[in-house]
């Protein structure tokens, strides 16, 4: 099977497209922890959403969650994520082009298909837009995001759990189940879109 390969933070991604007046599923870039340096070859409106990211356009600070205007030749430097969160998103007016596979332009790197040649971006790659850069002159007003709609990125989450077959007494003891729900679990560094590993108390199997 193919796991979900779109934006990890789908809400922030969709909000960015909405603020640019793009189609909801217009393709963009997901930036994990540390961002690239990009040069624009044409005028374009863009926005950075998700986790707060250090960003400069020709050395001038760029504010996240606000629509910005870039001109041909300008350089956007995206640095490290600041504070909570690990992923930020760069969306551009019109959306980015990419290989359409299974109805999506998302990249599945393990399967090596979709997106940009089925792989993560490398230095020197050139990305193309699906349509001419939306509003080069900046004359159209850009909608603003009400503060109440901006997501609050936390480091602690409360998850809902559904019992599966292995929750039966034949597998876990009653104490195991109590410990499972009472414990604080930490996401293991060796996690991916395919699955998330959690660090917590080791169970004592019923058999």
Taking only the tens place, the pLDDT of each residue in 61-89 is 999 999 999 999 999 999 999 988 889 99
Q: Which residues of the chain have pLDDT under 70?
A: 132-141
Domain assignment present for 3:
no
Q: Can you tell me the distance from the alpha carbon of 136 to that of 140, in angstroms, rounded to the nearest whole number?
A: 10
Number of other residues whose CB lies within 10 A of the CB of residue 201 = 12
Q: How far is CA 81 from CA 36, 52, 78, 97, 195, in A?
A: 12, 6, 9, 25, 23
- In the three-class reduction of DSSP (H, G, I as helix; E, B as strand; rest coil), residue 31 is classed as strand
Q: Can you tell me the distance from the alpha carbon of 30 to that of 27, in angstroms, rounded to the nearest whole number?
A: 10
Domain assignment present for 2:
no
Q: Give pLDDT, residue 139.
A: 53
Examine the domain organization and report whether 141 and 171 are in the same domain: no
Specify whether the CB–CB gap between 88 and 31 falls below 8 A: yes
Domain count, the chain: 2
Examine the domain organization and report whether 160 and 130 are in the same domain: no
How much is the pTM?
0.84
Residue where one domain finishes, among candidates 102, 119, 147: 147
Examine the domain organization and report whether 18 and 70 are in the same domain: yes
Structural domain including 190 reads 156-207
What CATH number has the domain bearing residue 35?
A: 2.60.120
Q: How far is CA 63 from CA 51, 68, 110, 123, in A?
A: 12, 8, 33, 25
Q: Can you tell me the distance from the alpha carbon of 129 to that of 91, in angstroms, rounded to the nearest whole number?
A: 11
Examine the domain organization and report whether 110 and 191 are in the same domain: no
């Amino acid at each position: 099977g193919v796991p979900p390969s779109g934006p990890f933070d789908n809400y922030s991604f969709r909000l960015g497209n909405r603020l640019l007046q793009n189609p909801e599923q217009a393709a963009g870039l997901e930036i994990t922890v540390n961002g690239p340096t990009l040069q624009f070859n044409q005028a374009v409106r863009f926005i950075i959403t998700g986790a707060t990211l250090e960003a400069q356009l020709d050395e001038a600070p760029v504010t996240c969650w606000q629509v910005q205007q870039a001109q041909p030749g300008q350089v956007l430097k995206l640095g490290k994520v600041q504070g909570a969160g690990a992923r930020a998103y760069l969306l551009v007016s019109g959306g980015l082009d990419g290989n359409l596979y299974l109805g999506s332009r998302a990249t599945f790197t393990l399967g090596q298909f979709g997106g940009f040649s089925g792989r993560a971006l490398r230095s020197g790659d050139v990305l193309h837009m699906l349509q001419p850069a939306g509003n080069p002159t900046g004359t159209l007003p850009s909608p603003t995001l009400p503060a109440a709609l901006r997501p609050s990125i936390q480091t602690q989450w409360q998850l809902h759990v559904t019992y599966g077959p292995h929750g039966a007494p034949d597998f876990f003891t009653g104490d195991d189940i109590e410990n499972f729900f009472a414990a604080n679990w930490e996401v293991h560094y060796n996690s991916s879109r395919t699955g998330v590993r959690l660090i917590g108390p080791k169970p004592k199997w019923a058999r």
